[in-house]
Structure 1
Amino acid sequence: MSIRIGANPIGWSNDDLQEIGGSTPLETCLAEAKEAGAEGMEKGHKLPNNGAALKDKLAEFGLAFVGGWYSTELLKRSALEEFEAAESHIAMTKAAGASILIAAETSNAIHGDRQRPLSERPRLAKGDWAAFGAKMTEFAKRLDGEGLKLCYHHHMGTIIQSERDIDAFMAHTKPPVHLLLDTGHARWGGADPAGLARAYRERIGHVHCKDVREDKMRQSNAEDWSFLDSILGQGAELGVYTVPGDGMIDYVAVFKALKGYSGWVVLEAEQDPKKAPTLPYAKKGIAHLRGALKEAGLV
């Protein structure tokens, strides 16, 4: 596959707080992503849930389907129950032509709750990692039988947020579980994205690229904001996340650590489009990714 650059609609319309960018037409998102240089698109709430319709809609804009988020509840149910619950998502993904399923445990997550600060995020007890990891591995094996690769998304406000969480998750899961390296969530969660890339290169199956405004991250941490308040920003101010090249992450270092990676590199930036015009930011982010990939020798 080599490396292809995609985008996530969350840079145009927020999925967790749908009124943010709610008035932005889907067609604007897809046209701007294409104009900025994206080759593919991940699933957003405004895209069709039927796989064939999804594929056709993206094809109108010359875009391929990359894959989509699936919320697991493996802390509450078995791997078989999870696999059965994912039936429609699996069918959509295959019909739309993608080969990955982006999974994140959300049964007790708080990232979608604007009233809860990130200090209240859930944590998994030391004795619970083995059982959780075994169920995630079984779920991944069932997906593998369907021709889909499970890529686990570490995420602020969930049980897998910090570097220690990621290390524990990787230690207690086995292939075919892959890691989705999200540079923005990694950095805000306290990890070095390039360090994670070096440590888990052989099991990284997908990459999300968003940048971090260091001053906003430090303010959020110090004042203990919720995830949503953090990404939206206070008043007229911008939030924690932005596009690559507009924050503190060294993408050349990340991509050098990913030498040999083949797959999608996906542009993200959870921002309020009223404060952060979508097309200029998308163009800036993709241009920066292209430059960093070239400097790192990946393209």
Structure 2
Amino acid sequence: MFNKDKVKLGIAPIAWTNDDMPDLGKENTFEQCISEMALAGFRGSEVGNKYPKDVKVLRRALDLRNMEIASAWFSSFLTTKPYEETEKEFIAHRDFLNDMGAKVIVVSEQGNSIQGQMETPVFNGKYIMNDEEWKLLSDGLNKLGKLAAQKDMKLVYHHHMGTVVQTSEEIDRLMAMTDENLVYLLFDTGHLVYSGENALDILNKYINRVKHVHLKDIRVNVVDEVKEEKLSFLKGVRKGAFTVPGDGNIDFEPIFEVLAKNNYEGWLLVEAEQDPKVANPFEYALKARKYISEKAML
């Protein structure tokens, strides 16, 4: 189905140790994490909070396991802080990823985000931007996109629950207001379905701008509970809203078909933050790898 020379399969370290709630998986080491990733059949990962910051140290650990770095999350604050602050941090982040051989930079606007707030309801408490904030965000992303292009890299924007770009309408507006040659889209199955969007519609509409993919499944019963009880994003994670492909309610076959038909190139990255004491990350990595092998022939 996919061109195996142009599509790589990776997995995120957040299943082993959660970046937003470090108590989840605090017992799991960096070495255990990447060893189990490799053992489960994955070729790469994004960068977690336990990963060495020294390029040589990180590269050696990955090379031992025939692993690569696909990308790493970057929090922008283009709507709430001076642009120069975000730019300075972005350049350092870009250069680190470039040294590690990554081709995309994952960016999510965290100005007014509620994703990290334990008590704020993720559906009821979401911030809605005004026109001035939309201009700050789009202009800032275009500038960051130019900085990424200087290193022959691409900025991929991560729509995300609890942030200012979550819904289909917000994704549409962001794509319309940014330069298609500078700002690309990270397509995340789980966050779209969680929000109540039609993931396939978004994928078909922006397939030419999708340059990075997160394969995340959801448990609909838990998402329904989050809505009904007005829970926060983080409490939803703790309750098990997310899981790996093949273990939840999303049918990934049509998604794989659209990506393959349009000759998608880049990473397909499994991501499912769960409590590792409840959902053993190695076992779930194997489950995801088996499902993707069967459904995507990858």
Q: Does the alignment pair 1:292 with 2:295?
A: yes
Question: Do the aligned partners of 1:79 and 1:139 also contact (CA within 8 Å) in 2?
Answer: no
**1:283 is matched with which residue: 280, 283, 286?**
286
Question: Do the aligned partners of 1:206 and 1:263 also contact (CA within 8 Å) in 2?
Answer: yes
Match of 1:167?
Answer: 172
Match of 2:237?
Answer: 231
Match of 2:31?
Answer: 27
Deviation (angstroms), 1:107: 2.2
Counterparts of 1:80 and 1:166, CA distance in 2: 25
Paired residue type of 2:134: W
**2:227 is matched with which residue: 202, 221, 224?**
221
Match of 1:193?
Answer: 199
Question: Do the aligned partners of 1:52 and 1:95 also contact (CA within 8 Å) in 2?
Answer: no
Counterparts of 1:79 and 1:292, CA distance in 2: 43
Determine helix, strand or coil for the equivalent of 2:39: helix
**2:155 is matched with which residue: 150, 160, 164?**
150
Question: Do the aligned partners of 2:91 and 2:147 also contact (CA within 8 Å) in 1?
Answer: no
Counterparts of 2:35 and 2:137, CA distance in 1: 40
Question: Do the aligned partners of 2:80 and 2:112 also contact (CA within 8 Å) in 1?
Answer: no
Deviation (angstroms), 1:80: 4.8
Determine helix, strand or coil for the equivalent of 1:201: coil
Counterparts of 1:221 and 1:111, CA distance in 2: 15
Deviation (angstroms), 1:15: 0.3
Counterparts of 2:245 and 2:16, CA distance in 1: 16
Deviation (angstroms), 1:223: 0.9
Match of 1:100?
Answer: 104
Paired residue type of 1:152: Y
Counterparts of 2:268 and 2:88, CA distance in 1: 29
| 1:18-67, Cα deviation, whole Å (9 max, x unpaired) | 01001112122111111111000110000012223222221122211111
Counterparts of 1:36 and 1:264, CA distance in 2: 16
Deviation (angstroms), 1:292: 2.2
User: Once structures 1 and 2 are overlaid, which stretch shifts more, 152-161 or 56-65?
Assistant: 56-65
Question: Do the aligned partners of 1:4 and 1:264 also contact (CA within 8 Å) in 2?
Answer: yes
TM norm structure 1: 0.93
CA RMSD of aligned residues (A): 1.5
Determine helix, strand or coil for the equivalent of 2:208: helix
Counterparts of 2:82 and 2:58, CA distance in 1: 29
Counterparts of 1:176 and 1:22, CA distance in 2: 37
Deviation (angstroms), 1:158: 0.4
User: Once structures 1 and 2 are overlaid, which stretch shifts more, 260-269 or 109-118?
Assistant: 109-118
**2:269 is matched with which residue: 253, 266, 269?**
266
Match of 1:134?
Answer: 139
Match of 2:213?
Answer: 207
Match of 1:257?
Answer: 258
Question: Do the aligned partners of 1:52 and 1:92 also contact (CA within 8 Å) in 2?
Answer: no
Paired residue type of 1:177: V
Match of 1:182?
Answer: 188
Unaligned runs of 5+ in 1: 234-238
Deviation (angstroms), 1:126: 4.2
Match of 1:115?
Answer: 119
TM norm structure 2: 0.93
* Pairs aligned (count): 290
| 1:210-236, Cα deviation, whole Å (9 max, x unpaired) | 101011111111111111110111xxx
What percentage of aligned pairs have identical amino acids? 32
Where do 4+ consecutive residues of structure 1 move more than 6 Å? none
Match of 2:93?
Answer: 89
Counterparts of 2:234 and 2:176, CA distance in 1: 30
Match of 1:236?
Answer: none
Question: Do the aligned partners of 1:104 and 1:152 also contact (CA within 8 Å) in 2?
Answer: yes
Counterparts of 1:87 and 1:231, CA distance in 2: 31
Question: Do the aligned partners of 2:37 and 2:282 also contact (CA within 8 Å) in 1?
Answer: yes
Unaligned runs of 5+ in 2: none
